[in-house]
C-alpha cells in the first residue's frame, strides 16, 4: 500500500506538468476599448455619427465597451507543415450599468494548414470564418474593404515577383453592401471571390 501512495503524488505531478505545458502552447491575443462620458445634466453619454454613415469618429466617441479574445493553437506540426486552429470571441455592451449581460459573437473560428502543398512552399490553405485581409481607416473605425466571413482560400502563394492569394467568402462587404431607403438600413449578404497579387 505504501508503494501505491508514493506513486500517486508522482503521477499527479507529472499529469499537472503535462497539462501546464499544453496550456502554455495556446496563443492569446486581445483587444478592448471603452469610453466613458455623461452630459452636464447627468444623462448618459451620447455618441454622434453623420446620417447614413456606416461608422463614427473614434476619439472620445466610444459609447460602448468592446472586447475581442483570440485563442489559437497548433493542432499538428511536423517540420514546417502544420494545422493551426484560430478563434476570436467578441463582446459588446452599452455602458449603462456596472453589470450588463451580453451574448458573445464568434467573429473567427477557422483552421489554417501551412506549407501542406510541397510545390507551394510558404502557402496557407484555410477554411472557416475569419477576418480576411481587411483594410480600414482606423480613426473612424471604417473598413472600406472587408470581405471577412465564412469561406475558404489559399494565400501567400509565392510567384517569384509577388504573392498570390485566392479566397471565396460569404458576408457583407463594408462600404458597399448596405442599402438605404428613408430611415431603414438593410444588410445584403453576398458571395465574394477574391484574387490578390
Give residue-wise pLDDT tens across range 19-49: 555 555 899 999 998 887 777 777 777 777 7
What are all long-range contacts of 101-110, with beta carbons under 8 Å and residues at least 24 apart? 107/68, 107/131, 108/70, 110/85, 110/86
Cβ–Cβ under 8 Å, residues 189 and 176: no
For residues 68-93, one letter each, b for 16 or more C-beta atoms within 10 angstroms of the residue's C-beta and e for the rest, the string is: bbbebeeeeeeeeebbbbbbbebebe
pLDDT of residue 142: 82
- Residue 106 Cα distances to 86, 91, 121, 146, 149, angstroms: 11, 9, 31, 17, 11
Q: What is the CATH number of domain 26-34+50-196?
A: 2.40.170.10
| pLDDT confidence tier of residue 177, bands split at 50, 70 and 90 | very low
Contacts 24+ apart (CB under 8 A), 179-187: 180/52
Lowest mean pLDDT among 75-84, 85-94, 181-190: 181-190
Maximum separation of any 2 CA atoms in the chain, in Å: 81
CA distance 83 to 111: 7
Residues in CB range of 145: below 8 A, 6 or more apart: 134, 135, 173, 174, 175
Q: pTM of the full predicted structure?
A: 0.71
Residue 6: the pLDDT is: 60
Q: What percent of the chain has pLDDT over 70?
A: 76
Average pLDDT, the chain: 80
Q: What pLDDT does residue 16 have? A: 62
Amino acid at each position: 500500500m505504501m508503494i501505491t501512495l508514493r506513486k500517486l503524488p508522482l503521477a499527479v505531478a507529472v499529469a499537472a506538468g503535462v497539462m501546464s505545458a499544453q496550456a502554455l502552447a495556446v496563443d492569446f491575443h486581445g483587444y478592448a476599448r471603452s469610453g466613458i462620458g455623461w452630459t452636464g445634466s447627468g444623462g448618459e453619454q451620447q455618441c454622434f455619427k453623420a446620417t447614413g454613415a456606416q461608422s463614427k469618429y473614434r476619439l472620445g466617441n466610444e459609447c460602448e465597451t468592446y472586447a475581442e479574445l483570440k485563442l489559437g493553437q497548433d493542432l499538428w506540426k511536423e517540420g514546417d507543415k502544420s494545422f493551426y486552429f484560430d478563434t476570436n470571441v467578441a463582446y459588446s455592451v452599452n455602458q449603462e450599468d456596472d453589470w450588463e449581460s451580453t451574448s458573445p459573437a464568434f467573429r473567427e473560428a477557422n483552421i489554417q494548414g501551412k506549407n501542406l502543398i510541397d510545390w507551394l512552399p510558404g502557402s496557407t490553405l484555410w477554411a472557416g470564418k475569419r477576418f480576411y485581409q481587411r483594410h480600414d481607416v482606423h480613426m473612424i473605425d471604417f473598413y472600406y474593404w472587408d470581405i471577412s466571413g465564412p469561406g475558404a482560400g489559399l494565400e501567400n502563394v509565392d510567384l517569384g515577383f509577388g504573392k498570390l492569394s485566392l479566397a471565396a467568402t460569404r458576408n457583407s462587404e463594408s462600404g458597399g453592401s448596405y442599402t438605404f431607403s428613408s430611415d431603414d438600413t438593410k444588410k445584403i449578404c453576398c458571395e465574394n471571390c477574391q484574387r490578390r497579387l
